[in-house]
Amino acid sequence: MMEAERQKLLVVEDLCKEYLSRQKKNGQHRTVKAVDHASFSVLRGETFGIVGESGCGKTTLGKCIVRLHEPTSGSMYFEKDGSMQDILKLSREDSFKMRQKLQIVFQDPYASLNPMRIDEDLRPKKENIYYHCKEFTPIYSDLIMERSEGKGADACYSGPGWTGHCAFIDPSPEFINVKDMDEYLEQKAGIVTLHPLTIAQNSLHGVFGQSGDVSWVPPKAATIGPFDVAHSRHRLESHALTTGGSFSSWQRMVSRLITHGPITPLVPGSMFQKIGATILLSEEIAQPIECMETVGY
């Protein structure tokens, strides 16, 4: 069936959500664009995904659609009884009724969904779920290959950290003691020593209180290996992380190293230049690196 013939369930047009920053410039609060002119349609029978790292505005967009946040501008329409109704013109009562069919699952899905109530046919097979532990971590790569009948994982999703790492594959001592990238890509899952910059970055994550206290961060971690990334059938790398939807991002530098720098184990993400991947690089990350004192905050 052609797209034009399929029924649209949700239409979002030029949606914007802006916040006023607490920071001021010339006595004025700076405007932070959490959602910037988003437009898309979701068709009946279609699975539609919006991909991006933490802080890029995915949750804000979802909250605007269900009216938990009021958008700054734009239009939204939801199908009801064969016609499209304007979400922004719904009364409070009608908004509650709409949410019976248009719902949001927050970032903690276990707070919203009871996995034991999901249809068994839709659940992942128990025999395909392996958590890192003393038993599985040393053989994690072999388990992936065994369960996939030698084909590798269906997909590997990753994003760069301060060190240019791929997911949590750091330029750690255990991985970089190799002669070339070919040898590097043969290394499998295991326990590795975190790079000091990764420890610093993780200390700013919410799970560690966003405190910058590096003493909270374990010095070692269980991780998949470059072997697992290289043997995945689909690889998706996202370079789109900003700070609270602002212009600020440390990914501008590592994104350039990963996509255009030398291919080296010292920048694990540079492996994608050799093995290939779909890299989602946002316009914000692609902006020129400039002295903010000269171009303005």
With a cut of 80, say whether residue 296 has pLDDT above it. Answer: no
Q: Rounded distance, CA 22 to CA 121, Å?
A: 48
- Burial grade of 278 (CB within 10 A; 0-12, 13-18, 19 or more): exposed
Beta bridge partners of 55: none
| Ranges of CATH 3.40.50.1360 domains, the chain | 124-295
Across 44-115, the runs of DSSP E, i.e. the strands, are 73-80, 83-86
Task: Express each pLDDT in 138-152 by its tens digit.
Answer: 999 999 999 899 999
Task: Express each pLDDT in 38-95 by its tens digit.
Answer: 999 999 888 888 888 777 888 889 889 988 889 999 999 998 888 889 999 988 888 8
Pick the CATH number of 3-111 from 3.60.15.10, 3.40.50.300, 3.30.360.10, 3.30.365.10: 3.40.50.300
Task: Express each pLDDT in 24-41 by its tens digit.
Answer: 666 677 788 889 999 999
Higher pLDDT, 274 or 163: 274
Is-above-0.95 flag for pTM?
Answer: no
With a cut of 60, say whether residue 278 has pLDDT above it. Answer: yes
| Ranges of CATH 3.40.50.300 domains, the chain | 3-111
Task: Express each pLDDT in 228-244 by its tens digit.
Answer: 999 999 999 999 887 76
Q: Rounded distance, CA 291 to CA 297, Å?
A: 10
Pick the CATH number of 124-295 from 3.40.50.1360, 3.90.79.10, 3.30.300.30, 3.40.50.300: 3.40.50.1360
